[in-house]
Amino acid sequence: MNSLYKIVSLALLNLSFIHCRSQDAALLEGIDKKLKANEWTVSQVLCTDSLMRLHSQKKFREVIRANAVAGKFCMTSNSEPGTKVTIKGSVTTRRGDPIADGLVYVYQTSAKGWYSDTGAHILINSGDMNHARLFAYFRTDKHGNFVYETIKPMGYPGSDLPAHIHIHIWDRNGKTLRAPGELLFDDDDRLTAERRKISLREGFLIVSNSGTVGAPVYEYKIIVDL
């Protein structure tokens, strides 16, 4: 009897999983259509709490990437815990030429220092990079600039690593550009003299708050190698 109960329970769980995945597929298709029709914006999609459960799914990330555009946007909802900050960036070559219409991917931890809902690291198959809950794809404008709002990330729990935002950049033709890799904050308590030295040696960028205490702004001048 117990064996039969287990078999039935597993079958019901499997059917429930298939049903949820089917619903998600339809939802993702609908999101993609609305984005392409300019009925929704990427900002609206990323900042909708009810859609947050989709963020770790590969298809969702593909939809966001395929519909990436230039322009200021919000990466986190108003209910996301943490200090609200504005991130600004300019992307240029070493000669100072702007990288216009470049594709930018950013991802970060939450105010807990977690990438996922359940822990600081996901660890499997580059999980942090491919499944971080707080992420965005967007385009640089004709001057190579971008701006978005998010919450200030925190360093990993049980670690002395400073908080940071991961960043990857491609040109308009899809070529990967050599970028700093991480954006750091000068006012981070974990950014000790030694950590600062290591971060700068790694080529990471560290900037100060150019805004106010209540409305922090961090502006990064990103120089890429073609």
195 with 131, same domain: the answer is yes
Domain range enclosing 9: 1-40
130 with 94, same domain: the answer is yes
108 with 6, same domain: the answer is no
Per-residue tokens: 110 = 């939450």
Beta bridge partners of 135: 107
49 with 35, same domain: the answer is no
Per-residue pLDDT tens over the stretch 107-141? 999 999 999 887 778 666 667 888 899 999 999 99
CA distances from 143 to 50, 90, 94 (A): 34, 8, 15
Per-residue tokens: 195 = 């950590």
12 with 65, same domain: the answer is no
112 with 190, same domain: the answer is yes
At 21, the pLDDT band (50, 70, 90 cuts) reads low
**pLDDT attached to residue 117:** 82
- pTM value is 0.88
Q: What is the maximal distance between C-alpha atoms in the chain?
A: 75
**pLDDT attached to residue 6:** 46
9 with 52, same domain: the answer is no
**pLDDT attached to residue 160:** 92
Compute the Cα dihedral for 222, 132, 77, 19 and give only its sign. positive
For residue 195, what is the domain's CATH number?
Answer: 2.60.130.10
- Model confidence at 17: pLDDT above 50: no
Helix (H, G, I), strand (E, B), or coil: what is residue 173? coil
36 with 102, same domain: the answer is no
- Model confidence at 12: pLDDT above 60: no
Beta bridge partners of 145: 90
126 with 147, same domain: the answer is yes
- Model confidence at 14: pLDDT above 50: no
Per-residue pLDDT tens over the stretch 129-180? 888 999 999 999 999 999 999 999 999 998 999 999 999 999 999 999 999 9
At 66, the pLDDT band (50, 70, 90 cuts) reads very high
CB 163 within 8 A of CB 145: no
- Model confidence at 37: pLDDT above 70: yes
CA distances from 110 to 41, 88, 118, 156, 170 (A): 23, 19, 11, 9, 25
Distance CA 102, CA 89 (A): 12
